[in-house]
Structure 1
Amino acid sequence: MEHIEVFRRLGVALAIGLLVGVERGWQERDIRAGGRAAGIRTFGLTGFLGGIAGTLQAMTGPFLPATIAVLLGAIYIAGKWQETKENEDYSITSVVAALVVFGLGFLAAVGDIVTAAAGGVATTVILAARHSLHGFLRGLTWVELRSALVLLAMTVIALPLLPNRALDPWGALNPYSLWLLTITIAALSFAGYAAIRLMGPGRGVLLAGAAGGLVSSTALTLSFARYSAQAPEGARHLAAGAGIAGALSFARVLVIASALSFTLLAPLAAALVPAIIGFLAAALFSVWRSETATKAPEIDLKNPFELTTVISFALLLGLISLVSKIAIEYVGPSALFVVAAISGLVDVDAITLSTARLAGSTIDVIGAADVILIAVAVNAVTKVVLAFTAGRREYAMALGLASVVAVALGAIGYFAARSFLPA
């Protein structure tokens, strides 16, 4: 190995240790100097030592690096034992982190340097998220934990056992594909659900809107509408949060559809990107016009990993997939527009998934984009109707205006770009 390459790898090993050391030092910054087992210098040198051990392995074989690792672990354990006697702190996180840093430094020297660097960043993120993760665990209910464990078991154990072939004459009901798509959507929704739980009761309306848009913008819009009746002075602020949720729901549709059929990216982006910009601009305008800010209410969101929720979505996805296939078979692709309009009243994800799977084969790409955008537009109108039904007039008017701007910009962008889009 050339000298330049050795220096580069040792530099990455040192950087990994310093990165983790900064986080560890910050977490233990109130402890007196010399009162902790390891700080930024020790972690930096640990990563560097891992790099040296990896470099020496080519000359000495694996025995010396293994011996260094054992001695290093013993030193850290001894230091932590002394720290425990003084501070009564029984956490072994720093010891484990030190061994991980040594291992990543070793990897940087002998393996993929990019993987080692990514591992250092991931380790630091996990360590820095201590308070958030502990808070999330404290707020986690047994029902939520049980639901996640049951779904993991059903996915890891049951998914490989499901038949990976269509069970109906139209080729719509493939149990393996349907369940895989269902779990993927549930995981995406759970990211927003977990964000709301992590933010806690002090979250802002705009942040809650962004996180809620990943779970269910419809449920968030309804929750904000009901709260606007109790806090009329913050109605416009709440409408801004609902607008951001709408923008995130549009972005969610774009990501899901493009992931299943990349050819849908261009036509959907032509409509949804301007619509997202319109929603965000209208949300900022509502914040500017709002007389006062308000806190985020409790949002009536179901755990996306709750078994009944997942099974209900799987059944809805299967039903829409089957109806879409039958409609195309006996009526033609134009029947999907009706299916999309009806589906958009309830859910956008199911029609997006089922249509994206048909794009480029059963129906052309532009037709598939039209179907998805019809469902998106109907869903946006449905949320405005819910806002007028359950919320203050100011809230509903502000959200309605934002929706009109978003849909109008999306239509202009789509029809302006349509002549340049491939069929």
Structure 2
Amino acid sequence: MAQEPLFLVLVALALGMLIGLQRGWHERHTRAGGRIGGIRTFGLLALSGAMAALLAEPLGPGITIGIGIAAALLLGLAHWLDSRDDQDFGITTVVAGIVTYLLGAMTVLTDLSLPVAIAVLTTIVLHFKQALHRALEHLSDHEIRGILQLALISAVLLPVLPNETYGPWDALNPYEIWLLVVLIAGISLAAYFAMRLAGPDKGVIITSLLGGLASSTALTLSLARMTSRLPLPRLLACGILLAATIMYPRILLEVAVVNAALLDALWLPMGAMALGCAAGAVWLWRTREPFGNLDTSQLITEPFQLMPALQFGFLLALIMLISHGIKAHMGEQGLWLVAIVAGLTDVDAITLTLARMARDTISQDTAVTGITLAAITNTLVKGGLAFFAGHWALCKRLWPGLVLAVALALLTLFLT
């Protein structure tokens, strides 16, 4: 026990030197004595924070606060003197020094895992300055707005919602409903930026794979509409099948978050449908038409928007209410009808609803069958969209893969 304070002080010193290593490397071309702090200064800042925290017990917490203020003033003075010479008014190093002092105090006052994690994250943020600045330069106004709106619904609205059931049959839990909205919105936003990073010049295939993560139905409609301008039905049908292929792992991901116990039974039908669509896509890719560079920027969906999130939340609540009502009056098998109807427009809402209900209200077999029926319906809807928005040349290449996926899914339902 006598060595414990020494160990904590050494950890604080190591964390400070880690941050100082990055700061020193960043300003490695600055003349000697021309930078505010490096590996030694930051190591000593963390060391002083740890010592101040140790002195807080015999001398009171004021000593920790006083030394922290003194350290901040010294850093501010050094920055002011330095900025007069090079006209660099950035305060990143000053803020990093204050964080380092606080980390040193935290090594004594809290569990070590927290200051260690913060030190690593701080070093990463400091090191990727150029990458972060380049990312900001390329973000548009609506992309920033999408990020902020996602932060609003997740970090501001979600914590204040009541985590208890309301309404008929205790079907509605505001916190759980909104948590599922945040999940879907987060997946869509991640897919949008993945498409941005891949770039539209990568072609229909990559865009279809990433677009399927956001909304395979929306991407199907976009590709079907392109057939009037691009005489490439095999390539476009291949893209639709790839987007559909991604839908089934996305369903498994959503279920894993809500009720992982369903995965043992659900992976087989979802895997079978993914295999069917993937097989059709590979066949079409091997026999595709020749094509040049295609501009697929129109396939990149919008980033997260607040109104669609509210609409999805309303749809999710409505399906939950209807599902619990049908279960109360018609039994669990009545939910299969709800799944089929819901799959006509959106597979995510019914997937999340049935996965949630399977935790305490319905059997796992009912939930798995319902989710599979919704996926089958949504798969067939893609064929209908291709027919109405595209033309026969697209449909006759697309439908075999979709029919194969549906047949494999029905086979797994009958055999299990």
TM-score of the superposed pair, with normalisation by structure 1? 0.74
CA drift at 1:124:
3.8
Report the more deviating stretch, 17-26 or 68-77. Answer: 17-26
Q: State the SS of the aligned residue for 2:252.
A: helix
Bigger Rg over Cα: 2
- Percent identity between matched residues is 35
AA in 1 matched with 2:259? S
Q: Which residue does 2:76 correspond to in 1?
A: 77
Query: Which consecutive residues of structure 2, in runs of 5 or more, have no partner in the other structure?
Result: none
CA 1:266/1:152 → structure 2, altered by over 3 Å: closer, same or farther? closer
| 8 A contact 1:206–1:241 mirrored in 2 | yes
Paired residues for 1:203-242 under 5 Å? 208-209=207-208, 211-226=210-225, 236=235
Q: 1:350 to 1:38 in 2, by over 3 A?
A: same
Residues paired across the two proteins, number = 411
Deviation at 1:394, TM superposition (A): 9.1
Which stretches in structure 1 are left out of the alignment for 5+ residues? 419-423
User: Which residue of 267, 270, 276 corresponds with 1:269?
Assistant: 267
> Given that residues 136 and 197 in structure 1 are in contact (C-alpha distance below 8 angstroms), is that contact kept between their aligned partners in structure 2?
no
Partners in 1 of 2:187 and 2:394 — Cα distance?
28
In the alignment, is the contact (CA less than 8 A) between 1:219 and 1:299 conserved in 2?
no
> What's the counterpart of residue 258 of structure 1?
256
Equivalent positions of 1:21-420 (< 5 A) are 21=20, 24=23, 35-39=34-38, 42-51=41-50, 53-54=52-53, 62-127=61-126, 128=128, 130-131=132-133, 134-135=136-137, 138-140=140-142, 144=146, 151=153, 155=157, 159-160=161-162, 164-168=164-168, 170-174=169-173, 177-196=176-195, 208-209=207-208, 211-226=210-225, 236=235, 245-272=243-270, 296-299=296-299, 301-307=301-307, 309-387=308-386, 390=389, 418=416
Instruction: Rate the CA distance shift 1:57–1:356 in 2: closer, same or farther, 3 A.
Output: same
Question: What is the CA deviation profile of residues 218-241 of structure 1, one whole-angstrom value per residue up to 9, with x for unaligned ones?
Answer: 2234334545765667974x7776
User: Partner amino acid for 1:265?
Assistant: L
User: Would you say the 8 A contact 2:16–2:47 is kept in 1?
Assistant: yes
Matched letter for residue 217 of structure 1: S
Deviation of 1:369 after TM superposition, in Å, equals 0.8
Q: Distance in 2 between matches of 1:234 and 1:82?
A: 67
Counterpart residue type for residue 258 of structure 1: A
TM-score (norm 2): 0.75
Q: What letter corresponds to residue 262 of structure 2 in structure 1?
A: L
- The Cα shift of 1:119 comes to 1.8
Is this contact kept in 1: 2:211–2:300, CA < 8 A? no
- Is the Cα contact below 8 Å between 1:14 and 1:47 reproduced in 2? yes
Deviates more, 1:50-59 or 1:107-116: 50-59
The Cα offsets for residues 100-157 of structure 1, whole Å up to 9 and x where unpaired, read as 2332233234321112222223334444362265246543368647855875798269
